[in-house]
Amino acid sequence: MKTIKPRIFLLVNMLLVFTGISIAQMTHVVTLHVDTQQLNNGNNKKAFSFSASEGTAVENSDEPEEFTIIVNENDEIEWEGVSSSGAIVDIEEIEIMDDPNKPNRGKVFKNKKSKGKKMNGKKKIKEKVKGNTKNNVYKYFIRFTIGTTSFEIDPKIKVSGGS
């Protein structure tokens, strides 16, 4: 009897560790690309595009306002910006939009608005996806600056329901 209890205890602990490792969080990097030549020609729709880090699923990658990053609960998302001319793109703010069709839906992040922080000479934002958000799509604003000029675009985050 005494030898069975330690083995059961060890088995339960191994299962808990394996479960924790198998649902480990992932960090997704979303890069906002700004074509400054298109921007200077007044063509904002064609001036912006997005990409995501390797291993990150996305939908509608050809349409900046429909660009959707697919994440899981507890994943982290980091936003950064780059420009074709080398000008610094500062990510100033991320703001999650309210959904009138789901007024009681949980927040995807701790706060509705996140402010950019300087990292390596330019502003970026990093946030963690909260629990109880799966199977929801969140539209959000990215507010950014190039020099003293401000812009915004509104892509999406989709929190996967898992497999």
Contact status, residue 60 vs residue 154, Cβ threshold 8 Å: no
Res 42: pLDDT: 78
CA quadruple 154, 155, 160, 161: dihedral sign: positive
> Is residue 53 within 8 Å of 36, Cβ to Cβ?
no
Is the separation of the CB atoms in 73 and 125 below 8 Å? no
Fold for domain 26-159? Immunoglobulin-like (2.60.40)
Radius of gyration from C-alpha coordinates of the chain: 20
- Give the model's pLDDT for residue 41: 82
Where along the chain do its domains lie? 26-159
Q: How far apart are CA 88 and CA 126, in angstroms?
A: 18
Closest CA to 96 of 114, 74, 72: 114
Largest alpha-carbon pair distance within the chain?
80
pLDDT at 161: 76
Read out DSSP for 64-103?
TTT-EEEE-TT-EEEEEEEETT---EEEEEEEEPP-TT-T
47: helix, coil or strand?
A: helix
Residues 6+ apart with CB under 8 A from 89: 32, 34, 80, 81, 82, 83, 122, 144, 145, 146
List the pLDDT tens digit at each of the 163 positions of the chain: 556 766 665 555 555 544 444 456 899 999 999 999 888 887 777 899 999 999 999 999 999 999 999 999 999 999 999 999 999 999 999 999 988 888 777 799 999 999 999 988 899 999 999 999 999 999 999 999 999 999 999 999 999 976 5
Quick one: pLDDT at residue 5?
64
Q: What is the pLDDT of residue 24?
A: 63
Residues 38, 55: Cα–Cα separation, whole Å? 29
